[in-house]
Structure 1
Amino acid sequence: MIIVTGATGLLGRQIVERLLTLVPADRIGVSVRDPRKAQARTFAEQGVRVRQGSFTDAASLAHAFEGATQVLIVSVDKMGDEAVRQHRAAIDGAVAAGARRILYTSHMGADASSRFQPCRDHAATEEALRGCGIPFTSLRNGFHASSALQFLGDGLRTGEVALPADGPVSWTAHADLADAAAAVLADEGRFDGPTPPLTAGQALTFDDIARIAADVTGRSFTRSTATDDTFRQQLIGHGVPAGAADQLLGVFTAARAGEFAAVGPTLAKLLGREPIALSTALKELWLNSVS
């Protein structure tokens, strides 16, 4: 049985949806913190095994992972020691359940020396996977395109955005990464260890995104550069905790260092088509905003 964790989250949910088109429902199980959520109930109605599992509760993971052949660990929305601790607990749970392979949603920029904390967390988790004693696949996902849209904020409406100096980032759609993860799960052993970068076809700066936004909206769009400190203070002024503001700033410092600039063909090969371009996501966002 293939077990997917975090199956009511944005990425995990889409992975299960794609997986249902590739393997029978009775070969899929999900581990969720709250089985009462609507999406969990929908999966159960389709024949997916739904069990409660928490990375902070080993007993619950033993139940949720029972009978697993593969376990896909969808990375948590924590950072630092807490994230790595929870990932290690999930790895231990998968090993104890007798899984023959663990898969993990990592990041193309995973590196112990990264300027972006989550990438350091991914690197530490991959190190735990190397020592777990069973085969693993680390899905080196491109940076989520949804993050670029969040950084734009209401910029599409106002025609301007002020962000720190950045560098090229291979912004990649959740939908494509979900399709790729499902394909790898359905073809067990296709990759051993970290995959090549699973990225969209272009790496874009926010200057590039500004030009795309102008094309999409048919209006002028200005991208100005805010100092790192100004950006950080603006985040804090909007209620973002100081620690979280520092981590968000890390996206830009890491991008300036070229940590997210890699572009590779592996995702397109897995999909059998070109990945979704950021311009498509921007166009959808714009159309939704004016409808």
Structure 2
Amino acid sequence: MIALTGATGLVGGLVRDRLDAAGTPTRLIVRSTARLARQHPDVWTAGYGDAQALAPALAGVDTLFMVSASESAERVTEHLTLIDSAVAAGVERIVYLSFLGADPHAEFTLARDHAATETHLRASGLAFTFLRDNFYHRLIAQMCGADGVIRGPGGEGRIGSVAHTDVADAVAAVLGSGSRHDGETFTLTGPRGWSLRDGAAELARVTGRPIRYERETEPEAWASRAHYGAPDWEVAGWISSYLAIASDVMDVVTDDVERLTGHPPQDLPEYLRATPDAWAHLRP
């Protein structure tokens, strides 16, 4: 039995599609059934931090695909509760969608959450596979404001970003391989790196409107985001994503997508042309 978390989200939903197409039976564990794209014969409602609801949801599960929880101040606690619940339920392995450079001292603050999760999973006694993806191609459009400007302290660093579809293909390949990849870590990236200036140029080409990258200092970035009224940990996550890019730790390209899936990963320009919903807010 393979259980999927995150099936109402982008990557989790794509993984479900791929396993359904392959005829692989799955169980879905979701926070709410309202966002399910279509019905499923085996669905359980449970949040990551709800050990009581997780116990029956995980009963009989052999392999669990674990998408990281929504970004929050409690995310690590929720992750640890899910892992401990999986141990208690007799789950054999967890395939965890982690992040490139997961480290307790990572420049990108939210990557530290993934490091804590990986550490706990290693100590749990469960078999595991870590799929550490780079930033998604979609990020470049998300970084761009409606005014056509990407603002941030990203310097001229480069990003080996990856398409959601390629990540889903890699996850499905691992889930379909049984224990073959137990104990392994893969880094999922696109075929080449690009800078925020490059990304702005690609967005300009596909949208047909002027788009530019405007470098900020770190204090300027804090000031320009103050109007959102977001908590400090969240703003720090936003800004540190740019700082990580500037430091070139995101300039990583591997062949792991092709090794797992048998096909090369999608490049950023190809992704933007094929996925207009990613930049719909930028239409002229």
Q: State TM-score, norm by structure 2.
A: 0.90
Shift of 1:54: 1.7
Per the TM alignment, residue 38 of structure 1 is displaced from its structure 2 partner at its CA by 4.3
> By how many angstroms is 1:213 displaced?
2.9
| Contact 2:153 2:246 (8 Å CA) reproduced | no
Letter in 1 for 2:152: L
Range with bigger deviation, 2-11 or 160-169? 160-169
1:152 maps to what in 2?
A: 144
2:259 is matched with 269
**Matched positions, count:** 280
> Which of 31, 34, 37 matches 1:33?
31
Asked if the contact 1:22–1:186 (Cα under 8 Å) also holds between the matched residues in 2, the reply is no
Instruction: Supply the RMSD in Å over aligned alpha carbons.
Output: 2.2
Asked if 2 retains the 8 angstrom alpha-carbon contact of 1:116 and 1:247, the reply is yes
Does the 8 A contact of 2:97 with 2:130 survive in 1? yes
Instruction: Give the partner amino acid of 1:19.
Output: L
Unaligned runs of 5+ in 1: none
1:74, CA displacement in angstroms?
0.9
1:116-155 mapped onto 2 (5 Å cutoff): 116-154=108-146
Corresponding residue for 1:78? 71
Alignment of 1:219-234 (within 5 A): 221-234=211-224
Q: CA separation of 1:203/1:193 partners in 2, compared to 1, >3 Å: closer, same or farther?
A: farther
**Is residue 2:112 matched to residue 1:114?**
no
Q: After superposition, what is the alpha-carbon deviation per residue over 1:31-88, rounded to whole angstroms, capped at 9, x for unaligned?
A: 11123x1416x242xx3x10111222212111111110101111011345x2111111
Within 5 Å, which residues of 2 pair with 1:207-222?
207-217=197-207, 221-222=211-212
Which TM-score applies when normalising by structure 1? 0.88
- What's the counterpart of residue 57 of structure 1? 50
Q: Is the 8 A contact 1:19 1:183 kept in 2?
A: no
Paired residues of 1:61 and 1:93 also in contact (CA < 8 A): yes
Alpha-carbon deviations, 1:208-257, whole Å to 9, x = none? 21232344345554322122222221112234333311211100112222
Question: Alpha carbons of 1:149 and 1:231: their partners in 2 closer, same or farther (altered >3 Å)?
Answer: same
Q: Output the CA distance in 1 between the equivalents of 2:239 and 2:43.
A: 37
Partner Cα separation in structure 2 for residue 133 and residue 277 of structure 1? 37
1:5–1:72 Cα contact (<8 Å) kept: yes
Are residues 1:12 and 2:12 paired?
Answer: yes
Q: How much has 1:290 moved relative to structure 2?
A: 4.6
Give the equivalent residue in structure 1 for 2:276: 285
CA distance in 2, matches of 1:184, 1:178: 10
Contact 1:236 1:242 in 2 (8 A): no
Determine the structure 1 residue equivalent to 2:162. Answer: 172
Counterpart position of 1:162: 151
Q: Match of 1:39, as an amino acid?
A: L
Structure 2 residue runs without a partner (length 5+): none
Q: Aligned partner of 1:14: which letter?
A: L
Pair 1:87-2:72 in alignment: no
Aligned-pair CA distance for 1:264: 0.2
Cα distance between partner residues in 2 of 1:86 and 1:242: 20
What secondary structure does 1:196 align onto? strand
Q: 1:38 to 1:210 in 2, by over 3 A?
A: closer
Decide whether aligned partners of structure 1 residues 183 and 135 sit closer, same or farther in structure 2, where only a CA change above 3 A counts.
same
